[in-house]
Amino acid sequence: MRSMSGLKTVILLGVLTALFILIGGAIGGQSGMVIGFIFAILMNFGSYWFSDQIALHMAGAHEVSEREAPELHRLVAELAREAGLPKPRVAIIEADAPNAFATGRNPQHAVVAVTTGIMRILNQRELAAVIAHELGHVRNRDILISAIAATLAGAITLIAQMGQWAMIFGGYGRNDERDNGTAGVLGALLMLILAPIAATLIQLAISRSREFGADRTGAEIVRDPEALASALEKLEAYSRRIPLPVNPAASHMFIVRPFTGATLQKLFSTHPPTEERIARLRAMAQGGVAAFGRV
């Protein structure tokens, strides 16, 4: 199952890169496609090296030392040992909304961040399960994949918007390489409109698929699926009442969607339905995973 999920993610990332190249072609013909390909490589490179710094900044998180948060560091260290991972750095978000996320390009450069709110409402068993979920993202290499997907999708949207403005002000069609008449102009315009939508849907699909995997891995790390199910119930209930004001581009990183308001359609959500995640975890618990003991 994990190999199929990984293959699906690679395919989706490939489609995102192809969209980037097609956007370049719609704006600048063959030379635009080359530029789009170069930009895709640069975006991937930037996401790889700076994903942790970008994520922490967008979430308003700050790193804390062992002296500042000894119990949190102890818990993270114990769970990292259980997961077979290096101990990640630890960060805190000063917010009442209960939530958590992990970031970093690989296990050696990972950061686990939690809000002050989540440490107040969860018991020790539930908090351990949430941190194990985030370590599951680290172990499954979800963070890098999601960061690249989000960066590519955002860049595609930005470049498409620039292309639309260029067409409005007459920039399109002056280059003979692209002068294919009305059909060519309409085709390019359609690409500039649809590509950002497709890129966003692909990014969200990647985000949703990785959450299920992290739930399972986290439950296996603590050997307590029910604890994670219970934590998700609390987090979902509180998130509806206490929004977490973060950059929307960072919403996919958190364990539950950090926004309130009308329920989005599944297709446009950064997370799978929480009730479905809880049901899967409780099915794991009934299957005997909880009998193996707890951290």
Q: What is the pLDDT of residues 242-258, one digit of tens each?
A: 888 776 666 777 888 77
CA quadruple 58, 254, 251, 259: dihedral, nearest 10: -110
Q: Is the separation of the CB atoms in 47 and 144 below 8 Å?
A: yes
User: Which pLDDT belongs to residue 63?
Assistant: 96
Catalytic residue among 134, 220, 226, 236: 134
Interacting residues of 12 by C-beta distance below 8 A, sequence separation 6+:
149, 202, 205, 206
Domain boundaries, the chain: 2-292
Regions of the chain short of the pLDDT cut 70 = 1-37, 39-49, 51, 144-208, 247-250, 259-270, 288-295
| 134 in catalytic set | yes
Query: Binding site annotation covers 211?
Result: yes
Beta carbons within 8 Å of 192's beta carbon, 6+ residues apart: 23, 26, 27, 160, 163, 164, 167
Phi-psi region of 84 (alpha: psi -120 to 50; beta: other; left: phi over 0): left
pLDDT, residue 54, reads: 75
133 is in an annotated binding site: yes
Do 43 and 155 contact (CB within 8 A), yes or no?
A: yes
Position 203 scores a pLDDT of: 59
- Measured in whole angstroms, how far is the alpha carbon of residue 236 from the centre of its chain? 18
Q: What is the pLDDT of residue 293?
A: 42
- How many whole angstroms separate alpha carbon 163 and alpha carbon 160? 5
Residue 57 annotated as lining a ligand binding site: no
Structure confidence by residue, pLDDT tens digits, 194-228: 655 655 666 566 666 788 889 999 999 999 999 99
pLDDT at 191: 54
What's residue 292's pLDDT?
A: 39
Q: What pLDDT is stored for residue 2 in this prediction?
A: 47
Q: Which residue is listed with tokens 């409402």?
A: 121
Closest CA to 292 of 242, 235, 225, 238: 225
Tokens of 228: 């994670």
